[in-house]
């Protein structure tokens, strides 16, 4: 056992970080790494940003922290208005928090309080997808469909009803539309079996993140879930912790599908690695009901502080000023083409899917049967280690939903340039050539 007091992970000792700039990170031995996953899909503007630093310092020189029930603060108000405008779809109320899990937790509690306020306290259950990841706190963990994380805590979480989403890689239906219709029919059956009057809401990521390797759900499915929620009188909660703030080439992934949820949460990219901040946007009438019946019984100490919100404002300003949504779409196309070329070369790359600068690559033992590698081989960890040796950081996972297998995410900062995408692909190719041996 190492003598470090930190216990974040098992396995070999980690290199110690020295410094970073743009999409590159250096360790104290002088080795460089291209940050092909933006940390944990959070450092969306790259490293060493003077503009964010300047905005943060300017705010710190005025005031870093005030408590949200004691003072209004201008950055929080301005960021609230900005976010409402950017989503531009009937979600007019904003609540700040400090992380993705806190954001999901807030959405669960707001939705529950809404039904209590409306005299429907029997509504107590959520539905969510398996596989999925919604956070590590007990409420968010209850929504998470990822067996290894859930297992020790099942008796302690308020577990949601788990249903399957579409799988456009492995389905056996006649075509994609037929597949979606079948999945929606199964979901309807699960909602009916659960007693419709007991449902609070459906929680989903409009584009899958780490737990599914960027699996797409598609417009037909998402609109179908919107319709089911309306029919059953429950709320649709979009978890855009990972996909929000530009990652997929639009401000929010919902916007690809004209999907308007009742509550939307985002986090990671809003602070872009410079300060932890999350946010919940909700329809006005939901918040008005809750506020009229005693207020929202929820809060976190650091929520909505001036420094957090000044950071978020600077992040949004940078995305707008530097046209980063456009860059995300263009560099995303370049990255997709490169990943597809690699998939043509290597039989064990089963599926490449994603949007903007969020791409998932699924590894299979047998591309004809789409059969995953045996779990104990830990192929996702092998390829990640090889990529790191080649100077590329990618984000690994094994999807333990009983069907899919190993995958990794490639999701560099939204600021990445064409030559840097080339470097990323070259390093990935070298890792793959070694993986093949
Ligand atoms: N939801 C999604 C979709 C996420 O990807 C994550 C983080 N990976 C979370 C929630 C939890 O966010 P945090 O780690 O900031 O608590």
Atom index in ligand 1 nearest the CA of residue 104 equals 10
Domain final position from 273, 291, 321? 321
Q: Which tokens hold the place of 62?
A: 């005025």
Q: Establish whether residue 241 lines the binding site of ligand 1, counting it when its CB lies within 6 angstroms of any ligand atom.
A: yes
- Same domain assignment for residues 166 and 236: yes
- Same domain assignment for residues 34 and 110: no
| Residue 380, phi then psi, degrees to nearest 5 | -60, -35
Torsional class of 47: left (φ above 0), alpha (ψ -120 to 50), beta (otherwise): beta
**What is this model's ipTM?**
0.99
What spacing in Å lies between the alpha carbon of 436 and ligand 1's midpoint? 32
* Residues of the chain where predicted confidence (pLDDT) is lower than 70: 1, 399-404
Ligand 1 pocket: which of 96, 101, 142, 411 to mutate (most atoms within 8 A of CB): 101
| Residue 155 structural domain | 53-321
Domain final position from 259, 291, 321? 321
Cα angle, residue 28 at apex, residues 22 and 33 outer, rounded to 5°: 40
- Report if residue 12 sits inside a domain: no
Q: What is the CATH number of the domain that holds 92?
A: 3.40.640.10
- Same domain assignment for residues 198 and 272: yes
- Same domain assignment for residues 407 and 344: yes
Identify the pLDDT of residue 423: 98
Identify the pLDDT of residue 418: 98
Domains: count for the chain? 2
What spacing in Å lies between the alpha carbon of 173 and ligand 1's midpoint? 32
Domain final position from 273, 298, 321? 321
- Distance, CA of 323 to CA of 269 (rounded, Å): 16
Under a CB-based contact definition with an 8 Å cutoff, are residues 373 and 405 in contact? Answer: yes
Atom index in ligand 1 nearest the CA of residue 205 equals 3
Determine which helix (DSSP H) or strand (DSSP E) holds 342, and give its type and residue range: helix 324-345
For tokens 């993705």, the residue is 100
- Report if residue 232 sits inside a domain: yes
- Write the pLDDT tens digit of every residue in 175-216: 999 999 999 999 999 999 998 899 999 999 999 999 899 999
CA 103, 108, 111, 116 dihedral sign is: negative
- Same domain assignment for residues 43 and 127: no
Q: What is the CATH number of the domain that holds 362?
A: 3.90.1150.10
Q: Which of 47, 51, 32 is nearest to 416 (CA)?
A: 47
- Same domain assignment for residues 290 and 350: no
| Residue 350, phi then psi, degrees to nearest 5 | -85, -45
- Find how far residue 238's CA is from the centre of its chain: 10
- The pTM of the full predicted model, rounded to 2 decimals, is 0.97
Ligand 1 pocket: which of 268, 275, 300, 409 to mutate (most atoms within 8 A of CB): 268
- Distance, CA of 140 to CA of 105 (rounded, Å): 6
Q: Establish whether residue 135 lines the binding site of ligand 1, counting it when its CB lies within 6 angstroms of any ligand atom.
A: yes
For tokens 């790259």, the residue is 46
Beta bridge partners of 22: 47
What Å distances lie between residue 437 and 383, 405, 430, CA to CA?
12, 20, 11
- Report if residue 208 sits inside a domain: yes
What Å distances lie between residue 6 and 19, 135, 236, CA to CA?
20, 21, 38
- Distance, CA of 382 to CA of 377 (rounded, Å): 9
Q: Establish whether residue 216 lines the binding site of ligand 1, counting it when its CB lies within 6 angstroms of any ligand atom.
A: no
SS3 55: helix
Within 10 A of 20 (CB to CB), how many other CB atoms are there?
Answer: 18
- Report if residue 3 sits inside a domain: no
Q: Establish whether residue 250 lines the binding site of ligand 1, counting it when its CB lies within 6 angstroms of any ligand atom.
A: no
- Same domain assignment for residues 266 and 398: no
Ligand 1 pocket: which of 241, 254, 409 to mutate (most atoms within 8 A of CB): 241
- Same domain assignment for residues 308 and 419: no
- Distance, CA of 233 to CA of 216 (rounded, Å): 26
SS3 393: strand
What spacing in Å lies between the alpha carbon of 278 and ligand 1's midpoint? 10
- Same domain assignment for residues 279 and 217: yes
- Write the pLDDT tens digit of every residue in 251-302: 999 999 999 999 999 999 999 999 999 999 999 999 999 999 999 999 899 9
Rg (CA), the chain: 21
DSSP 339: H
- Same domain assignment for residues 107 and 167: yes
Rounded mean pLDDT of the chain? 95
- Same domain assignment for residues 76 and 112: yes
Q: Which of 94, 84, 355, 99 is nearest to 243 (CA)?
A: 355
Ligand 1 pocket: which of 210, 265, 267, 303 to mutate (most atoms within 8 A of CB): 267
Atom index in ligand 1 nearest the CA of residue 102 equals 16
Q: Which of 168, 187, 190 is nearest to 179 (CA)?
A: 168
What spacing in Å lies between the alpha carbon of 240 and ligand 1's midpoint? 9
Identify the pLDDT of residue 315: 98
């Amino acid at each position: 056992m190492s003598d470090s007091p930190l216990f974040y992970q098992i396995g070999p000792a980690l290199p110690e970080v020295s410094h970073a700039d743009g999409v590159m990170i250096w360790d104290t031995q002088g080795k460089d790494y291209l940050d092909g996953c933006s940390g944990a899909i959070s450092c969306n503007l790259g490293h060493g940003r003077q503009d964010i630093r300047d905005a943060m310092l300017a705010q710190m020189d005025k005031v870093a922290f005030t408590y949200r029930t004691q003072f209004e603060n201008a950055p929080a108000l301005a960021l609230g208005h900005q976010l409402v405008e950017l989503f531009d779809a009937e979600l007019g109320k904003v609540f700040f928090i400090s992380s993705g899990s806190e954001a999901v937790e807030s959405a669960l509690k707001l939705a529950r309080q809404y039904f209590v306020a409306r005299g429907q306290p029997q509504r107590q259950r959520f539905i969510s997808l398996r596989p999925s990841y919604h956070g590590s706190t007990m409420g968010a963990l209850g929504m998470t469909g990822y067996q290894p994380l859930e297992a020790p805590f099942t008796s302690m979480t308020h577990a949601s009803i788990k249903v399957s989403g579409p799988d456009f890689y492995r389905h056996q239906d006649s075509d994609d539309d037929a597949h979606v219709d079948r999945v929606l029919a199964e979901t309807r059956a699960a909602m009916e079996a659960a007693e419709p009057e007991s449902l609070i809401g459906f929680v989903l990521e409009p584009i899958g993140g780490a737990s599914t390797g960027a699996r797409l759900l598609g417009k037909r499915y998402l609109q179908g879930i919107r319709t089911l929620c309306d029919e059953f009188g429950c709320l649709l909660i979009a978890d855009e912790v990972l996909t929000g703030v530009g990652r997929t080439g639009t401000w929010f992934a919902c916007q690809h599908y004209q999907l308007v949820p009742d509550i939307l949460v985002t986090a990671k990219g809003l602070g872009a690695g410079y300060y932890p901040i999350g946010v919940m946007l909700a329809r006005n009438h939901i918040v008005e009901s809750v506020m009229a019946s005693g207020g929202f019984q929820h809060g976190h100490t650091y929520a909505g502080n001036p420094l957090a919100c000044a950071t978020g404002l600077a992040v949004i300003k940078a995305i707008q000023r530097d046209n980063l949504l456009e860059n995300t779409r263009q560099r995303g196309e370049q990255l997709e083409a490169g990943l597809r070329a690699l998939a043509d070369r290597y039989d064990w790359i089963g599926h490449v899917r994603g949007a903007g600068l969020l791409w998932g690559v699924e590894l299979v033992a047998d591309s004809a049967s789409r059969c995953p590698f045996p779990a104990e081989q830990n192929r996702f960890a092998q390829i990640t280690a090889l990529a790191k040796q080649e100077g590329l950081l990618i984000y690994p996972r094994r999807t333990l939903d009983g069907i899919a297998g190993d995958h990794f995410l490639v999701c560099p900062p939204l600021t990445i340039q064409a030559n840097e995408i080339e470097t990323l692909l070259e390093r990935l190719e070298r890792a793959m050539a070694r993986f093949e041996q």
